[in-house]
Amino acid sequence: MIILKTFKDLTLMKKILYGEQPQSINVLGGLLHMLQNNTFQLKMCVDSWPTFSTAICYRQNQIGSGLGEIPEKYRIFSKNQDTLRSLLADDKLIKWRNGLEFEAASYHSQIVCEIASLRGFHVKEYGGYHSYIHYSPEKSNLHENSSNLPTTTLNETHAELVVKHSANGGSKESVNLVTAYVKQLPNWCVVDEKGHPVSWLLTDEFNEIRMGYTQPKHRRKGHQQNLVATLIRQRISEGLPVFCHIHKDNLACIKLMLGAGLTLAEETSFMFISDDYI
């Protein structure tokens, strides 16, 4: 296990990961966050260096003062299941416990489940997601709909509202995490006449576009289309990738992202570790 720390090594890693898309996109997104400011204090682990077959970008720490516990996250890129298994089994890298979150290509999920089981934990796996990536965002021809509602950014007081309408929302840890997102990372929202958010779109520490939502009575007015266009332009100006994960049943979001120029990539699984092992 090797933790990459120097700017030289991380810059070389960036070049390699760009050449391994789409499989490397989440790890690449985390690496770019590390090179930009690393507000969320991510780390990069590889099985060997300067050549490697498995890389895991991860966050183990709490974010900010007073935000409390937030889920630990691990993003996996691997071309060799043996080296992946070895890293996941290394107790110096992963302290297996309740609440860990993993994201990997679906064909790697069984290894995560295998190691978790050996440590006495159960894995709650959420499949059916696919990566969508914009390979040439600088060539986007983005269209926006006219709207009489202003576009602005979320603030910390909106975290509970976002979590309430997210797929895995509800926990205190989720509120803490979204609070950190809206405080530290790019986001956009549309607000009504009273200044209340009616549509929003966030990014996370791995540079993924996520948590897009529009209140029911404000749908079919082009708000998400406008927010996606705004966020993609911002991504382009900062030299950051444009990608997201969408469940196969979320047809409206798939249509939106395809229309914005993103391309369907590989199937992905999200895995959450719990202590209710069966």
Q: Give pLDDT tens digits for 169-194.
A: 566 778 888 999 999 999 999 999 99
Q: Each residue of 190-209: b (16+ CB within 10 Å) or e?
A: bbeeeeebbbbbbbbbbbbb
Instruction: Report yes or no: 210 and 204 within 8 Å, Cβ to Cβ.
Output: yes
The pLDDT-based confidence of 198 (bands split at 50, 70, 90) is: very high
pTM of the complete model: 0.91
Instruction: Report yes or no: 209 and 237 within 8 Å, Cβ to Cβ.
Output: no
Q: What is the DSSP letter of 5?
A: -
First vs last C-alpha separation in the chain: 31
**Could you give the C-alpha distances from 89 to 8, 96, 123, in angstroms and in order?**
28, 9, 15
φ, ψ for residue 271 (rounded to 5)?
Answer: -125, 130
% of the chain at pLDDT higher than 70 = 92
Distance CA(178)–CA(38), nearest Å, equals: 17
Instruction: Report yes or no: 116 and 123 within 8 Å, Cβ to Cβ.
Output: yes
Mean pLDDT value across the chain: 90
* Mean pLDDT, range 118-140, rounded to an integer: 89
* Mean pLDDT, range 58-78, rounded to an integer: 76
Contacts of 276 (CB under 8 A, 6+ apart): 122
Instruction: Report yes or no: 205 and 33 within 8 Å, Cβ to Cβ.
Output: yes
Q: What is the residue type of 225?
A: Q
Its sign, for the CA torsion 83, 84, 85, 90, is: positive
- In DSSP terms, which residues pair with 270 in a beta bridge? 103, 126
Per-residue pLDDT at 278 exceeds 70: no
Peptide bond into 150 cis (omega under 30): no
pLDDT single digits (tens) 201-233:
999 999 999 999 999 999 999 999 999 999 999
Q: Hey, what are 130's tokens?
A: 């696919």
**Could you give the C-alpha distances from 23 to 88, 122, 132, 162, 166, in angstroms and in order?**
18, 26, 11, 29, 25
